[in-house]
Amino acid sequence: MALLDAYTKPLTADQVAYLLRRATFGPTPDQIKTLTGQTAAQIATKLLADQPTPPLPLDLNTGKPFTDQLFDATTQPTYRAYLKMWWGNLMLNQPVSVLEKMTLFWSNHFVTNDSTVNDHRYMYRYNALLRQHALGNFKAFTIAITQDPAMLRFLNGNQNVAGTANENYARELQELFTIGRNGGYTEDDVRAAAKVLTGWTDTGYRDATSTSISSSFRPTKHDSTDKTFSATYQNTVIKGRTGANAGLDELNDLLDMILKNVETPRYICRRIYRWFVNSDITADVETNFIIPLADLFRKNNFEIKPVLSALFQSQHFFDSALRGAVIKSPTELVIGTFRFWGVQAPDPTQAITVFYQIGNYINLRLKEEQQELLNPPTVFGWTAYYQTGYYQQWINSTTLGLRGYFGDALTINLLKFNGKAVIDPIAYVKNLSDPTNPATLVNDAVGQLLAIPLDQAQKDFLTNTVLLNGLPGYEWTSEWNDYLKSPNDNTKKQSVQLKLTTLLQYIFRMAEYQVA
């Protein structure tokens, strides 16, 4: 089997759920039901379809946009928080689309953070740029991010001028954004690239007198000498230029040069593979998946959609051995759980208080579980995507308890939105195939909630010990039927509800729930 060959069989419900867990922040039951029986190619087309530009984030108090207003230091902390809540709700309300997952991917790739930039208007523009180019052309994306005001601030591109070149962005452009640290570039290449990038600056930073935010090229601050690169880049010489177009012309030459190196598309494809498939890239995967995928990337002029389309419908992607290979990130855990249980953020123009109540809860959970939106800790991104062990970094002595408490809060109804509990265990169980049979009930529930199948001993433990607490199965059948006959009897209702709550609480704390 060639790893990149297409998987053409109609997808089962389990396969659809797996695909959506990886390509989005988690499926809803309706999405699984609707897409079951379709092929990976059909679903990939939906995942990669263009999406409308989302409405601007709104001020909770005024109901009006705030990203196009004059900078005000007193409202800055509040607006920074609103922006994260707004993005979290976009993830929560996503259709069958990879856009939000890819926007987060690029936030972890072309990294800036709001702790450093410290202007919410810059960070909104940055997020909009990620969203605009997330499924577009990689070269055009890299050119745009190089000129982005937030990036110019974050990696000191605005300080990079002829005579005193700042090498910060030039280094990360190669080490992290394009060819990778093992791509063979040299310190001389960093210095030469820094000279190419001289002259750019941002305007409007923390400006209380103007709403104009942009970037511009200053010809008088540009190094117009020729720039010579190493053998890694075939000893390319980028011709020095003068005038208004010098900066963009040399930037284009620089990207063309970097993209010609075979390691650049391979590096990007490895990053995408680790995000969607598995952190472990074996020699077989490198040879028979990464390299062909990178060749496809190059042949398609560095368009991103063909790469994702091939990945999501590949034989390798649907290899059952990859199920559970990814520990859920906080966004996948929190937002995916909410999506399964039907939580949606309302239209903020109609119910802005509830909109931000939900967004605030998401933001707080992601921050404490160490994936604060728009605020990766370093230029490398979130630790779990670059440190040894990769996804395992999401689980530590701090986050393990917090992840467990998140599930507890849902099951015991500590969390309510607009006065309504997130999870109604009785209503959920009523929709399973046979709630009267405890073994069937457990089998159905773990089949829907867990990414990997349990063995029979695990299912028996959940049934006999967790749900029934040692009682014979017929006791549950009798108890459930008694409740159905008298649904308004609080004693009978609480009896079944307590058992179901205990079951769900246990499932949420299982290792199998923490993986995708």
Summarize pLDDT for 48-102 with one digit per residue, the tens.
Answer: 999 999 999 999 999 999 999 999 999 999 999 999 999 999 999 999 999 999 9
Q: Model's pTM, two decimal places?
A: 0.96
* pLDDT tens figures, 503-513: 999 999 999 99
Long-range contacts of 31-36 (CB under 8 A, 24+ apart): 31/96, 35/11, 35/96, 36/11, 36/12
d(CA 81, CA 509): 29
Overall average pLDDT of the 484-510 stretch: 96
Comparing CA positions, the residue from 168, 188, 195, 183 lying closest to residue 258 is 183
**Alpha helix positions (H), 114-245:** 114-117, 120-133, 138-146, 149-154, 168-172, 187-196
pLDDT digit string, tens, across residues 226-273 = 999 999 999 999 999 999 999 999 999 999 999 999 999 999 999 999
User: 55 φ, ψ to 5°?
Assistant: -60, 155
β-partners of residue 334 are none
pLDDT of residue 420: 85
pLDDT band at 205 (very low <50, low <70, confident <90, very high): very high
Query: Mean of the pLDDT values across residues 207-228?
Result: 97
Residue ranges of domains in the chain: 137-261, 426-514
The least confident of 34-48, 210-224, 227-241, 384-398 is: 384-398
pLDDT digits (tens, 9 = 90+) for 468-481: 999 999 999 999 99
Block residue for tokens 């001020």: 59
- Return the pLDDT at 417: 87
pLDDT band at 289 (very low <50, low <70, confident <90, very high): very high
Which of 506, 140, 500, 89 has its CA nearest to residue 335? 89
| Alpha-carbon gap, residue 393 to 206, rounded angstroms | 35
Q: Which helix (H) or strand (E) element contains residue 416? A: strand 416-417
Single-letter code of the amino acid located at 489: D
> What are the backbone dihedrals phi and psi of residue 67, each rounded to the nearest 5 degrees, phi first?
-80, -10
Cα(266)–Cα(297) distance, integer angstroms:
9
Secondary structure, 3-state, 501-513: HHHHHHHHHCHHH
* Euclidean distance between CA atoms 423 and 399, whole angstroms: 23
pLDDT of 411 above 90:
no
Residue 99: what are its φ and ψ, rounded to 5°? -60, -50
At 23 the pLDDT is: 98
